[in-house]
Amino acid sequence: MFMIGDSPINIFDLVFLLSVLFVLLSLLGLLIALVMRRWAMLRRLALGLAIYVGVYALVLIGSGLLTPQHVMAMHEVRCFDDWCASVEKVERQPAIGDVQAQGVFYVVTVQVTSRARGISQRARGAAVYVLDDQGVRHEPSLQGQQALEMAGLAGLPLTSRVDAGGSFTSITVFDLPSDTEHPALVHTHGTFPGVIIIGYDQSFLHRPTIVPLVE
C-alpha cells in the first residue's frame, strides 16, 4: 500500500497510473517522430505501445476472469479512496404506504461516510443494484422509491455531498420477485477509470463485490 497525500493507493492503482504515464509519453514520442519524419523511430514507438497495450489488456481480462468474487458482510465498510459506504440494514415488506410491491420490497439502508480531511466530497457516479442467485440484475424500484420519499424516509441520495469526517444515510428500494433467492447488493462508483484498472472489482469482466441482503 502506498500513500498519495492522505489517500492510500494500492499496487494496481500504481500500475494504472504508471501505464497512463507511459501511454501519454509514447503518444508524445509518436507525435514528435511524425513531425520530424523519423519513420524508424515512429515504427519502434508504435510497436512498443501496441505490445504494451496488448499485454495490459490480456492481464486485465485474465485478472477479471480468474479473481474470485469478493463477498462482504453487513456493516462492513467499503471505501473508494476517502468515500466509504456500508450496508446497515435491509427490510422486506409487501408495501410502502399505498404502493404495493409486484413481488417484495427490499428496503436497503446504506451509511455513507468520509475519511477526507478538511474537504467535502461527493460521488457523482455512486449507484446500487441487486443481483439474485441467477445473476439477474435488479435496479431500484421507481414507484417504491417515490413512496419512500413521500413518506420522508428515504434519507439522502447516494450522490449527495458529505462533509469531511461526516456521514449520511441513504435508503434505496428494490421490488424483487417473491421467489428471489440469495439477493445481494452491488455498489458501483462510476465506470471510468475502474473498468480498466487491473485487479479492481469494477474492471472489465471482473465479478462485482456483493453484500448478501440478510435481515
Domain ranges in the chain? 2-66, 78-212
Per-residue pLDDT band at 193 (split at 50, 70, 90): confident
CA distance 15 to 195: 14
What single letter denotes the amino acid at residue 64? Answer: G
User: Cα angle at 50 between 46 and 52, to 5 degrees?
Assistant: 120
- Give the Cα separation of 108 and 171 in Å (integer): 6
Q: What digits encode the pLDDT tens for the residues 119-140?
A: 899 898 899 999 999 999 999 9
pTM over 0.75: yes
Q: Supply the pLDDT for residue 126.
A: 93
Residue 142's pLDDT is what? 96
| DSSP structural state of residue 195 | G
Over residues 46-52, mean pLDDT: 97
As a whole number of Å, the end-to-end CA separation of the chain is 34
Task: Measure the CA–CA gap between 170 and 157, rounded to whole angstroms.
Answer: 6
Range 106-114 average pLDDT: 96
Lowest mean pLDDT among 143-147, 153-157, 198-202, 203-207: 198-202
Interior CA angle at 31 toward 27 and 35, to 5°? Answer: 170
Q: Is the pLDDT of residue 184 over 80?
A: yes
Q: Average pLDDT for residues 1-18, to the nearest whole number?
A: 65
pLDDT range class, residue 185, cuts 50, 70, 90: very high
**Pick from 136, 128, 208: nearest CA to 174:** 128
- pLDDT band at residue 215 using 50, 70 and 90 as cut-offs: low
Rounded CA gap, 70 and 53, in Å? 27
pLDDT tier, 3 (very low <50, low <70, confident <90, very high otherwise): very low
* Angle formed at CA 157 by CA 152 and CA 160, multiple of 5 degrees: 125
What's the whole-number mean pLDDT along residues 23-41? 96
**Most confident range, picked from 78-87, 148-157, 171-180:** 171-180
Indicate the DSSP class of residue 62.
H
Predicted local confidence at residue 159, as pLDDT: 94
Q: From the options 2.170.8.10, 2.40.10.10, 2.60.40.1240, 3.20.20.300, give the CATH code of 78-212.
A: 2.60.40.1240
